Amino acid sequence: MVINNTVKAAGLIAVLAVLLILVAALNPGLSERISQGLALVTSPRLDTGFTLTDPTGKTVTDRDYRGRYMLVFFGYTFCPDVCPTTLTVLAGALDHLDAATAAKIVPVFVSLDPERDSPAVMGQYVAAFSPAIVGLTGSADAIAQVKKSYRVYSAKVEGSAPDLYTIDHSALLYLIGPDGRFRATIDPGHSAAGLAAELSRAVQ
């Protein structure tokens, strides 16, 4: 019985090893991305449309950014850690890119907190990280719709006062192609150089 179990375990390990080799062969650079804390996952079934408000109060849609790649991140200006960290990484990644590649990308920060994030607040917030980042907000219904479209998780966490709440949320970057189609989700991995390398590979 012990011998049989050992043989079965060895067989399972061999199968897993073969699968890992095949995955590595079909995904060159995957091990490097994993070691950097990066992951790029593609899917054709994401709705990328939205109708939101920019810092000037103008209504904009995803179509306003056609012809360039959108790099979309969801968060809120009162976020204590994930949002400023990710936006700092994003701003640094833009600085690492050559001018031609950077010009093809529109970084978009979408608020998950329409109660506190007015257009003006969003504009001031993103400007502190990079003038290239566009801050978008909207009504509660508009934010709920874009969350649903992008399959974003968020949950309000009550604080010690009504206006001192925080928001738990997912923290992926969504890469949208110049044609408006979803291309990939990217985990920034808290490395500006690593994110820049990932974008250089993804942006044509």
Distance CA 61, CA 151 (A): 18
- Positions of E strands within the chain: 40-41, 51-53, 59-61, 69-75, 105-111, 134-136, 154-157, 166-169, 173-176, 182-186
Domain boundaries defined on the chain: 2-34, 39-202
Quick one: what percent of the chain has pLDDT higher than 70? Answer: 78
Decide which of 111 and 10 is more confident.
Answer: 111
Instruction: Name residue, tokens 């095949």.
Output: 22
Task: Determine the average pLDDT of the residues in 186-204.
Answer: 88
- pLDDT value, residue 66: 96
- pLDDT value, residue 1: 52
Structure tokens that stand for 153 in this block:
């998780």
The CATH number fitting domain 39-202, selected from 3.20.20.10, 2.60.40.3950, 1.10.10.10, 3.40.30.10 = 3.40.30.10
pLDDT per position as a tens digit, 28-50: 443 344 334 444 555 557 889 99
Give the DSSP H or E segment for 32: helix 30-35
Return the number of other C-beta atoms located less than 10 Å from residue 115's C-beta: 13
Annotated binding residue 175: no
Annotated binding residue 79: yes
Instruction: Name residue, tokens 């991305």.
Output: 33
Annotated binding residue 83: yes
pLDDT per position as a tens digit, 142-163: 999 999 999 999 999 998 888 8
Structure tokens that stand for 39 in this block:
């992951």
What is the reported pTM?
0.79
